[in-house]
Amino acid sequence: MYIEKVKSSRLTPESLEIKTFGNTFADHMLVCNYKDGVWGEAKIIPFQEMSFSPAMQAIHYGQACFEGMKAYKDENGDVFMFRPEKNFERINNSAIRLNMPPVPKEVFMDGLKALLDIDRDWVPPTYGMALYLRPFIFATEPMITARSSEEFMFCVITAVAPDYYAKPLRVKIADKYSRSANGGVGYAKAAGNYAASFYPTKLAREEGFDQVIWTDASTHEFIEEAGTMNVFVRINDTLITAPISERILNGVTRNSLINIAKHNGWKVEERPIKVSEMKAAHKDGSLKEVFGCGTAVVLNTFSAIGYPDETLDLADMPMEESWGKQLKKQLMDIQNNKSEDPFGWRVKVEKNLVNTL
Amino acid sequence: MYIEKVKSSRLTPESLEIKTFGNTFADHMLVCNYKDGVWGEAKIIPFQEMSFSPAMQAIHYGQACFEGMKAYKDENGDVFMFRPEKNFERINNSAIRLNMPPVPKEVFMDGLKALLDIDRDWVPPTYGMALYLRPFIFATEPMITARSSEEFMFCVITAVAPDYYAKPLRVKIADKYSRSANGGVGYAKAAGNYAASFYPTKLAREEGFDQVIWTDASTHEFIEEAGTMNVFVRINDTLITAPISERILNGVTRNSLINIAKHNGWKVEERPIKVSEMKAAHKDGSLKEVFGCGTAVVLNTFSAIGYPDETLDLADMPMEESWGKQLKKQLMDIQNNKSEDPFGWRVKVEKNLVNTL
């Protein structure tokens, strides 16, 4: 692995005290180019602008996908990734659906470890904060024929993720717009899926909501995702979430919460859940809580659900009653090495690893 | 308008004799940046690589759309655009659906005219060739939060389009994959729509087909588009094409062919057309021809249609019997100023226009 370190770090104490996410990038990035049918050498270089042709395929035809992950620092200063194998599998599932070459496992795994080893000072020591990892693959061939690119770049950039107070969200059930359809790319973290969601989300915001609960494109009868999160509905003492399908993202946080809930002895059902079922449960008092989950927010409870005809309010529950809040704490404790890890999910980033790669 | 011309042109006689489309770019490009809520000054500069942050929003969240247009040169050396107003309207419809700011009309129209005036020597004088124009808008803000960008670039690049012999295509009817759904972005020229189509197209190619005929995502019963083209089915003496909807691109070529066909006194129906209707018409001999159309190819006839259980062959028809071939010639004659233009579609690019802008 080729490594070029920065001459002097941009890291300051303020870097790790930021309050907004998305543009406080660590010192280094990983790049690896695909050309002539093969992936080249992975390189760690200073985070920097790159030069592209205005004909770069990704900005014309959207051949691009990404992953979202986080690295955590425990009280001893050790750095951990969380279930990176899941993200490795998923980025390649996304790549295949978009006709892009899968990234080799050693490029992905060793690249992430080396990058985190070099930039370990950028992983905030504060519980609740993390260094967000953004692996992505995009088409770089400079050509405007509407066909698959033959050149790609795999890249990893990282950004400090603050501990922002996740306020309960008001969500609106989609009855016109849709996020994905059978036979489409909804299960992939395809760049275009996100662009398609911004306008419906903006319209929902204008009506006083924070996010959209996506429903199936054919009938709008079934709950699929919320914003960029998977959704859980708790009716009495059963947690229900939509099953993984070609329309629904196979969320790592979703899967982790299901495992923790089952470990707690709680009942979990992965099955289609109707918009109308959630409404009926609200009416008869059996709807206890509804929440979304994902790497960025971990878990966000919902305080209101907007139906076309009425908005249903959900009361905030104390920790001892809320499965959502308990699950969030259990998950974060595992991620931050504050509790046992019965699932074997943490992956420690060894020090001075770079010299061995 | 700021204009910086190349010191010396890259144009050679060979540039206008190329046989493959997509990477023979003319000397200049148009760029215009959107920041702080306003579009800045449009600039014509030498075609060149540009520097972007690896966090550029478009390659993460796919906020990007484009247009495809052509400029033609007639026997007098005059240069014409074809219905540029339609592309101007559509790029802004696409932009709105993707939550991007519409491009001002003068930036789009004056920009295209000035670019074509400066690069008019790049417009091939050969009938059947053209200079392809690629206006596009993409998100440039360097930030990886999953939200709409607040910075964008509008850009126009151009590439020489050869007169390639459009061989009749073998097309496969989609029975699993889908291109768009109700409530989605199928009607927009959104970058992500194209990436989603490459893998199903690759699978169709492995089965001996050239393109996919997209059907509706819910039932796969209705014909929508083919590859990146609108589709026309001729049954006896009626041309049928799917109506414009939120799933189907409002094609300029589609609209032009409908107008020419009606002008010829031919019957045209814009209505949903079932996969099964086309098959039944083939069985009873009333299916005369099926073709796709779009700016790049103009019109492509289909020689075979693959159903899950059988592949139906379509005989090649001579010009005097084929409505498709006649429509293609009529359209190209208008575009190239070889015939009257009863519709007022041609827009001449005046010489030395640049000095007045």
> What interface predicted TM-score (ipTM) does this complex get?
0.97
Q: What is the mean pLDDT of residues B243-260?
A: 97
d(CA A73, CA A131): 9
- The pLDDT of residue B165 is 67
- The pLDDT of residue B355 is 67
Shortest Cα–Cα distance, A182 to chain B (Å): 6
3-class SS of residue A202:
helix
A23: nearest CB among B59, B96, B142: B142
User: Over the stretch A140-173, which tens digit does the pLDDT of each residue have?
Assistant: 999 999 999 999 999 999 999 998 767 899 999 9
End-to-end CA distance of chain A: 6
Shortest Cα–Cα distance, A184 to chain B (Å): 5
Substitution target in B60, B148, B158 with the highest count of A β-carbons within 10 Å is B60
* pLDDT band at B166; cut points 50, 70, 90: confident
d(CA A282, CA A276): 10
Substitution target in B198, B211, B245 with the highest count of A β-carbons within 10 Å is B198
| pLDDT surpassing 80 at residue A200 | yes
Q: What is the mean pLDDT of residues A115-130?
A: 97
Stretch 313-352 of chain A: residues touching chain B, C-beta under 8 Å: none
Q: How many CA atoms lie within 13 A of B87 on its CB side?
A: 25
| pLDDT surpassing 70 at residue A192 | yes
| pLDDT surpassing 80 at residue A356 | no
- The pLDDT of residue B357 is 62
| pLDDT surpassing 70 at residue A357 | no
Name chain B contacts of A23, Cβ cutoff 8 Å: 55, 142-145
Name chain B contacts of A61, Cβ cutoff 8 Å: 191, 194-195, 198
CB contact under 8 A, A296 and B54: no
- The pLDDT of residue A114 is 96
For domain B2-164, the CATH class is alpha beta
What burial class does residue A38 get, using C-beta atoms within 10 Å of its C-beta: 0-12 exposed, 13-18 middle, 19+ buried? exposed
Express as a percent the part of chain A with pLDDT over 90.
97
Domain ranges of chain B: 2-164, 169-335
| pLDDT surpassing 80 at residue A87 | yes
Q: What is the mean pLDDT of residues A190-195?
A: 97
Stretch 274-313 of chain B: residues touching chain A, C-beta under 8 Å: 296
SS3 per-residue string spanning B215-234: ECCCCCCEEEEECCEEEEEE
CA closest to A294 among chain B residues: B146
Q: What is the mean pLDDT of residues B316-331?
A: 97
* pLDDT band at B353; cut points 50, 70, 90: confident
- The pLDDT of residue B163 is 86
A177: nearest CB among B22, B142, B183: B183
Residues 6+ apart with CB under 8 A from B240: B232, B233, B234, B268, B269, B270, B271, B273
Torsions phi, psi for A195 (to 5 deg) = -55, -40
Please say whether the structural domain B169-335 has been given the CATH code 3.40.630.30.
no
Shortest Cα–Cα distance, A309 to chain B (Å): 19
Q: What is the mean pLDDT of residues A335-354?
A: 94
Strands B211-215 and B223-226: antiparallel
- The pLDDT of residue A353 is 76
